[in-house]
Structure 1
Amino acid sequence: MAKTNPGRFFEDYTLGDVIDHAVPRTLSGGERALYHALYPARHALYSSDAFAQSCGLAASPIDDLAAFHTVFGKSVPDISLNAVANLGYAEGRWLAPVWPGDTLRSTSEVIGLKQNSNGKSGVVYVRTRGLNQRGETVMEFCRWVMVRKRDLDAPAPDTVLPSLKPALAAYDLAIPAGLDFTRYDFTLAGEPHRWGDYAVGEKIDHVDGVTVEEAEHMLATRLWQNTAKVHFDATNRDDGKRLIYGGHVISMARALSFNGLANAQMIVGLNAGAHATPCFAGDTIRAWSEVLDKAETPAPGVGALRLRLVATKGGEPFTLKGEDGKYLPHVLLDLDYWALMPV
């Protein structure tokens, strides 16, 4: 009797399946230190207990994307171990801060299925939730992933595409209890720009770039216990290259956005996301942002900014799609998110 698990293939998924993912993970200051070593992450709220306390929180939480990667990584062995690529995201919400010492686990529900026309793979849509040790949902998100078929003759399932919001409204956002930016220290945060200084339609070139190295992206992916084969074993791709985990690109671009958006302290909503082009070792990631919307929140001194974050590997800043509506070859990531900022 086989003891090993080859992972699920497209024909192994059924609409409505609820999958409880294995191996809960307790997070600590070690994850924070490694996160800041892997990315040029400098947002003050996630760097300093004292700064976070001045903003009404008990301490500095675990970086929002570090928590996201942990929850995401739990789901990989059951959802995307045999993936061709992770394709997109929607309806992501950070519902409560994750603190050092919290233990996270994940559960996913299959909410959509569509076999590709080539009959060799299909797209699986899931809604994943991350829960802490008290059973509280700290975040949730939808994603869709292209998964290989094991048996090419397996019948195609009925196509079901989930109805997902194109964007979260401001009232969908969960503001951490106690968050208060009325005593916000702009000097310590690194930039003077407030919520009111940003205009819808404004674009920001974040200037800096970071070249991704082979060892570091695999270290990052192991940190999140993401076991997808394409990130480690080059024989799983026809081009013989290890595909860099899309979350690595997200975190790198978010960290680069500090230059121009240092006060966009907390990510609280993920409206949409597309990994437009594969990223490989040797690519130099750069980033630019566009302000898509603004909203007030009930928290004192706190505003919400809806931002498009684009990661590229070259090309002119602020270029995204060609005349055919397709992403240009240098575009790696197109991410639409809500962040909290002092007014």
Structure 2
Amino acid sequence: MAEKTNLGRFFEDYTVGQVIRHAVPRTIKMGERALYHALYPARHALYSSDQFAQDCGLPFSPLDDLIAFHVVFGKTVPDISLNAVANLGYAEGRWHHPVWPGDTIRSESEVIGVKQNSNGKTGVVWVRSRGLNQHDEVVLDYVRWVMVRKRDVDAPAPKAVVPELAEVVPASDLKIPKGLDFTNYDFTLAGEPHRWGDYEVGETIHHVDGVTVEEAEHMLATRLWQNTAKVHFDAWAREDRKRLIYGGHVISMARALSFNGLANAQMIVGLNGGAHANPCHAGDTIRAWSEVLDKAETDAPGVGAIRLRLVATRSLAGGGLCKLRGEDGKYLPEVLLDLDYWALMPM
């Protein structure tokens, strides 16, 4: 009998320079926004109101930046991380164009690095993934690296190629949406009075609120983004019989929680780096804090760029101190996410 099902790629199936076009293109409409805002307490005004967006120089409200991320990411999973042990990190991400309701997004990835692990059972694969719209415009690209199982542990190790990645996307390389203008920005409607000049490099912001993650919402989110990774669906895919919460779910939850203190960090335009430091499971309560890493002016009227570290933690009632690593330099066990990104904010 011919085998017709997709078992996914294993480590030895990747070669540097390989380009993989991912199935299936997806047309995104307002239903995705409604579900996104139902899953996460997302309240940033630019993604909630056509009138607010128009007052900021845009034709109407674009879809949330992380909707674009989830859709592009989900398309890559069957080819990149179906047999992954873990999604390890991100770098060099840029949002090039807003995604508008009705846009059709497809994804492709280029393998830019491979390195077998010392145990001989797994290896790390680096890919640069791109999301393109129906006009063949790149709306988003980023690098990620995953640990993938080998099909045959006796297969010879490929020549190790580890790509050199920039620690930060230069502020001068950030793409500002055409027409964006914050000179008439309404701080009252946005929810907070704090503008770009009110934040200092080195400042930390405890976002106070917490959300307990439930199994049902995680499963809905993972299906919504068509993420087919086995560790998110099949309890038998892991020895501990616990399904992993999709890391992007933690990203969106932490970003939504950051509204309390960063309501005016409206648009995500750069992804400098990121790590899923520890696994998240149903029943965990996610809290978040941010650190201001850098600030930069832009050429757009009234628009400043702010570089933020967003940290999601698993914590008990009341949260805790804004700490990331222990004395040994390793992530604290309660840290779930360490994300470094650029956002646009009124000056």
Band the TM-score falls in, shorter-chain normalisation: over 0.9
Indicate the RMSD between aligned Cα atoms, in angstroms.
Answer: 0.6
Look up the match of 1:87: 88
Aligned match of 1:329 in 308, 330, 333?
Answer: 333
CA deviation profile, 1:92-122 (whole Å, cap 9, x unmatched) = 0000000000000000000000111111111
State the shift of 1:283 in Å: 0.3
State the shift of 1:317 in Å: 2.4
- What letter is aligned with 2:7? P
Instruction: Give the Cα separation in 2 of the matches to 1:165 and 1:208.
Output: 33
SS in structure 1 opposite 2:66? helix
Contact 1:306 1:339 survives alignment (8 Å): yes
Look up the match of 2:15: 14
State the shift of 1:88 in Å: 0.2
SS in structure 1 opposite 2:23? coil
Q: Is 1:106 matched with 2:112?
A: no
TM-score for both structures, normalised by structure 1:
0.99
Look up the match of 2:173: 172
- Where structure 1 has 5 or more consecutive residues not aligned to the other structure, the ranges are none
- What letter is aligned with 1:324? D
What is the aligned residue count?
343
Look up the match of 2:294: 293
Q: Is 1:263 matched with 2:267?
A: no
State the shift of 1:172 in Å: 1.1
SS in structure 2 opposite 1:23? strand
Instruction: Give the Cα separation in 2 of the matches to 1:9 and 1:316.
Output: 40
Contact 1:288 1:317 survives alignment (8 Å): no
Instruction: Give the Cα separation in 1 of the matches to 2:7 and 2:238.
Output: 17
Look up the match of 2:131: 130
Instruction: Give the Cα separation in 1 of the matches to 2:139 and 2:153.
Output: 38
Q: Is 1:190 matched with 2:194?
A: no
CA deviation profile, 1:226-251 (whole Å, cap 9, x unmatched) = 10000000111111100011000000
Taking only the aligned residue pairs, the percentage that are identical comes to 80
Instruction: Give the Cα separation in 2 of the matches to 1:317 and 1:267.
Output: 26
Look up the match of 2:322: 318
Instruction: Give the Cα separation in 2 of the matches to 1:169 and 1:149.
Output: 36
Q: Is 1:226 matched with 2:227?
A: yes
Instruction: Give the Cα separation in 2 of the matches to 1:142 and 1:231.
Output: 21
State the shift of 1:284 in Å: 0.2
SS in structure 2 opposite 1:188? helix
Look up the match of 1:243: 244
State the shift of 1:323 in Å: 1.1
Look up the match of 1:41: 42
CA deviation profile, 1:203-238 (whole Å, cap 9, x unmatched) = 000000000000110100110011000000011111
Instruction: Give the Cα separation in 2 of the matches to 1:163 and 1:31.
Output: 35
Look up the match of 2:306: 305
State the shift of 1:150 in Å: 1.0
Instruction: Give the Cα separation in 2 of the matches to 1:325 and 1:18.
Output: 36
SS in structure 2 opposite 1:216? helix
SS in structure 2 opposite 1:333? strand
- What letter is aligned with 1:73? G
Instruction: Give the Cα separation in 2 of the matches to 1:55 and 1:44.
Output: 11
Look up the match of 1:160: 161
Look up the match of 1:5: 6
CA deviation profile, 1:284-328 (whole Å, cap 9, x unmatched) = 000000000000000000000000000000162211101111000
